[in-house]
Chains A and B, each alone.
Chain A
Amino acid sequence: MLQWIFLIGLLALLASAYKIGTGTALGRASATGERLHSLPGYYGAYTVLWAAFPALVLIAIWAILQGGLIEGIIVSELPEKLRVLPENELGLVMNDVRNIAAGAFGTGDDVDPAVKAAAMHLRSLEDMSSWAMLAAALAAAAAGLFLARKRLEPEFRARNQVERIVMWFLMGSSTIAILTTVGIVLSLLFEAWRFFEQIPPLDFLFGLEWSPQTAIRDDQVGSSGAFGAIPVFAGTMLISLLAMMVAAPIGLFAAIYMAEYASPRFRAIVKPVLEILAGIPTVVYGFFAALTMAPFFREMGDLLGFDVASQSALAAGVVMGVMIIPFVSSLSDDVITAVPRSLREGSYGLGATKSETIRKVIIPAALPGIVGSLLLAVSRAIGETMIVVMAAGLSANLTGNPFEAVTTVTVQIVTLLVGDQEFDSAKTLAAFALGLVLFFVTLILNVIALHVVRKYREQYD
């Protein structure tokens, strides 16, 4: 409870820092009769930043270090017989200690008194630590405030200083974003490495059979596990191809209509509506595909004498295509409208019709941007999971026939990881290997898209 008051005090201190900073700067300026270098608000902001920054950094570091330190103390105080236990048993004991300290289960008689004592100690240490942390934060804030206040002379360039602090702050944010990505990639690499220690990479990349069920016990009948990723990637390609066959023409033509023919009013209504399509959760598309489209295609197939499975790549692909239409149309529409009017006029001025102008001038000029939007849609299609789970099935058939059930990389990753899994079996680790390959495929697509889009910028003017 009192900790809350501390926190509120800290916030109040930060708030008043602004007033203090502004007031101090103004006061000193009028005392010496000099002009302030910056607007008074900048002195206030400078003071606030200096009060807040050390306190926040301190809290962050404290929170990171506290757990390990306290546990170290507790372990070192455990009686001899517990301390010499092997590492995993010691871990169990520490779990007990932690649970008791958090009040998770009672302090019954069956508990070792030593453990109980350790728990009490842990609790008091944690209490103390959080108190100390808040006090230290408060002190740091006050110190920062004091130091900053000392510098608030009229000729002090608060504006430039605030600018620099803002820059550091922004730099920190982008660093976090980059580091997170790097971390994810590294963990993918690491887990995939463990997978490739069990399964040779060539077998994985070029194997034709995918059935990741491995026998858990030796006496179990069942598969030994086959980790050839070709059928899975073929499924992804097939479904993405089907999706693009739907999305590319429809999206592109819709974009051309909206950019070139539609009246501004129509455009103002239809464009947002089309973009809503992109906001529908993919689960909804998924059951639309499974419950509406798949039976529809099956009946169509019966009528025309095709044998369409109840779960087919076709249903998933078509619905996925509908899902990514907005990506194609919205982006293409933007790049088409970005083609300068002078180019259109140049073409009209030579006596070209509207569709000639679109075909021969506008589309070629906007082509790199359009390609970029298509590639973006492809990466969307490759990454899509939900629709495929629901409509295309789980069986890893190596087939190019859209009427059959197939499976995709993302779906396999999901099925490999749901449920209780051991984290060192090849089956689970296969998910990371799939993820890694998928990551590289989309990465390459994105790089191409970026490259193409950048080139597009140089096209006119």
Chain B
Amino acid sequence: MSAVTKEQAAATDTTAPVSALPKMKGRKVCVHYGEKQALFDVDIDILDKQVTALIGPSGCGKSTFLRCLNRMNDVVDICRVSGDVTLDDGDIYDSKVDVVHLRARVGMVFQKPNPFPKTIFENIAYGPRIHGLAKDKTTLEETVEKSLRRAGLWEEVKDRLDQPGTGLSGGQQQRLCIARAIAVEPEVILMDEPCSALDPIATATIEDLIHELRENFTIAIVTHSMQQAARVSQKTAFFHLGKLIEYGDTEQIFTNPKQEKTQGYITGRFG
């Protein structure tokens, strides 16, 4: 299925360069939480320097799939993942893979904002510090400022960088977490509903950020907003009850879906 859609994608997608190669690939990905199966044989390509949107009704497995891409499901005791997931054609579930290194390459913004109980500055500086990205204090400060600016939070917090990140509002926390993730400069950024708590202006900032990031990074984003998916993504995958129903060019999914379920979801008839 993916092979077919990829060709179609190349044929119909006007924005994506034809040369876009898959950065990450999922093949026959199945996930079980204990006895309960949450994902069934998902095949997806996350194209290099493109934005891939994952949409679908609540509980359909979008977050679960996203968390397979940086092995975040390892942290959940009862979770088992099978199938193949590759990053630059290397199997990320291989026993030789260094999970810590993988997660530095594939960063993540979580569905619920989870700032560390540290100052705003320390929240952003955390990643660069553990990876030794900043040579000295000034570069670290520059990185922090740049990340906060890109996430559209700088103006709001520049005077209180030494205050706890947990004291920010929900939407500010979400942007703080985005800034924290991009401060590490990962190759792939996974965003799980990054705008769910944001007002339209902040949402627009984040969408601009996504556009900007696309030049250098590969992005997968989960969203409940059809408009947002249409605005920011080149590829869209529609999930339903743990199955990938349809995957294709965003334009095609929203104007001319092949599956009836997709049609129903995007026109708001269910979900």
Which of A's residues lie within 8 Å of B, judged by CB?
264, 340-353, 356, 360-361, 364-365, 459-461
Contact = CB atoms under 8 A, between A and B. Distances in A.
Given A264-B77, A349-B181, A350-B180, A340 B103 contact: no
Contacts of B103: 348-351
Nearest to A361: B116
Contacts, number: 75
B117 A350 contact: no
B72 interface: yes
Contacts of A343: 114, 116-117
Contacts of A341: 75
Contact of B177 (A264, A344, A346, A461): A346
Nearest to B71: A348
B194 interface: no
Interface stretch (B33-41, B104-112, B242-250): B104-112
Given A349-B103, A350-B181, A351-B184, A356 B114 contact: no
B166 interface: yes
A347 B75 contact: no
B100 interface: yes
A352 B104 CA distance: 8
A348 B127 CA distance: 10
B114 A364 contact: no
The A interface, classified by DSSP as helix, strand, loop or mixed, is helix
Contacts of B186: 351
B261 to A, nearest CB: 31
A365 B114 contact: no
- Interface size class of chain B, counting residues whose CB lies under 8 Å from the partner chain: 20 to 34
B130 interface: yes
A290 to B, nearest CB: 45
B100 A346 contact: no
> What are the 10 A-B residue pairs with the smallest beta carbon separation, nearest first?
A351-B104, A342-B114, A349-B108, A350-B127, A346-B114, A351-B103, A365-B117, A459-B117, A353-B100, A352-B130
Given A346-B115, A349-B103, 7 more contacts: A346-B114, A348-B100, A350-B126, A350-B127, A351-B100, A351-B127, A352-B126
A349 B72 CA distance: 7
B127 A342 contact: no
A36 to B, nearest CB: 44
A456 to B, nearest CB: 10
Contact of B130 (A351, A365, A461): A351
Interface string B159-201: 0000000100000000001001100101000000000000000
A347 B180 CA distance: 10
B72 A348 contact: yes
Given A343-B116, A345-B72, A460-B166, A352 B100 contact: yes
Contacts of B110: 342, 345-346, 349
